Amino acid sequence: MPFINNILSHRSVSIVGLEKNTGKTETLNYVLHRLQKMDTQVALTSIGVDGEQTDSVTRTPKPEITLFEGMIFVTSEKHYLKRRIVSEILNISNDRTALGRLITARAQSTGKVILSGPSDTAGVKRLIDEMGQFGVQTTIVDGALSRLSLASPAVTDAMILATGAALSANIPQLVRQTRFVQQLIQLPTVESALAAKLQSLNSGMWAIDAEGNVHDLEIPSVFLLDRREKDIFRFGTRIYVSGAVSDKLLSFLRIQNRNVELIVNDFTKIFVSQKEFNSFLKSGNSIKSVTRSKLIAVTINPLSPSGFLLDSDTLREEMKKALGVEVYDVRKMSNSMDIQ
């Protein structure tokens, strides 16, 4: 499949599920299965809600991932000791997560591990950089999309989205929702000099003046915005929000009618409805992000947890037409694994 080559042409790729049961683990297992035949060194890690042992939404245990001989993986001490694989420890990080330090190891056989990785974005970045010393060409990150997670999969160069009937059982609606996420992932970015400045800001709202200087607007929370509406534009209309962007914030900025350029850290910080997002843009405002990733493929799971099955071919066609990237059915991918 062509998208395996596409994965290997990026230094880091995250696999992100838009909803539970959209087939993220199947996608990951499929990708790994294909990569074992390749002659390149890959590494695997995960980001998730810190301290999570079981899936925090469904209460089911975190799935084990099948790894093949030679693959490098990074997981916490706790999960390392529970592995069902023969593997060689290469390094122990000094960073601590709630589940202990992070262990980097190389699989010596085929087997299963539970992945848990860095708990914040900077940690993920550092880890991807460190993988170079083990000859890793591509690091694959089992990504999580969560308001609760401090780590964002947007730090990876490329991204694969897992979507499906679990998100919406209506094909046009599912396509539209997935297309919206793609739009957010691929938001235009700010100039790199400014990006470097904004990256280090962890909280609050900031204004960027005409000279590119960053000023703290001293608004501790966007929920306290209303009281400050007069001076929020005192340095101009370029505003950086380091935290979550809500419908309320967008509509507030929209009614000011000032052609705001809203800057977010990455797409995972945007929790807005498609409707509000569109009307924000239509009223002459714009949204940019500090980091952006590239969507290289979408996988679909036409089966919903309630048993509803969408027509795979139609869904794939529609999705491909709307998004312009390769679309694969996870169920067909798993079948192809068995044949080999």
Partner 1 sequence: MIKQAIQQISGFKYIIDSLNILSSIGRKQLLSLPFLTEKEDVERALAETETACKIVNARENEKPLSMLLTKLMQLRDISGTIQVLSTENVLNDIELFEIKHFALLAKSIREYVTELKITFIDIPSLTTVIDTLDPEKKRIPHFYIYDKYSSVLASLRTQLNRMTANKSDEKDIEPIRFQAQRIEDEVRKNIAQQLFPHVQALSQALQEVARLDIVLAKAIKIKELGLCKPTIGDNETSYKGLFHPEIKNALQQQNKEFQPVDISIPMQPTVITGANMAGKSVLLKSVALAQTMAQFGFYVAAQSATIVPVEQIVTSAGDGEDELQGLSSFAAEMLRLNTTIDNTYKGIRQLVLIDELARTTNPAEGKAIVCGMLDFLIQHNIQSLITTHYSIDIPCRKLRVKGFTENRNNETITISNINSFIDYSLEETTEKEVPHEALKIAEILGVDKDILERTKKYLKK
Decide if residue 103 touches partner 1 (CB under 8 A): yes
Task: Point out which span in 76-84, 185-193, 195-203, 254-262 binds partner 1 (CB under 8 A).
Answer: 76-84
Among 55, 77, 157, 247, binds partner 1 (CB under 8 A): 77
Task: Point out which span in 75-83, 136-144, 268-276, 284-292 binds partner 1 (CB under 8 A).
Answer: 75-83
Decide if residue 268 touches partner 1 (CB under 8 A): no
Query: Positive or negative, the Cα torsion across 120, 122, 125, 130?
Result: negative
Q: How far is the CB of 220 from partner 1 (least distance, A)?
A: 32
Is the Cβ of residue 109 or residue 202 nearer to partner 1 in the bound state? 109
Instruction: Scan residues 10-29 and list those touching partner 1 (CB under 8 A).
Output: none
Among 5, 58, 89, 234, binds partner 1 (CB under 8 A): 89
Number of residues that bind partner 1 (CB under 8 A): 19
Instruction: Scan residues 105-134 and list those touching partner 1 (CB under 8 A).
Output: 105-106, 108-111
Decide if residue 92 touches partner 1 (CB under 8 A): yes
Residues lying near partner 1 in the complex (CB under 8 A) are found at 69, 77, 80-81, 84, 86-90, 92, 94, 103, 105-106, 108-111
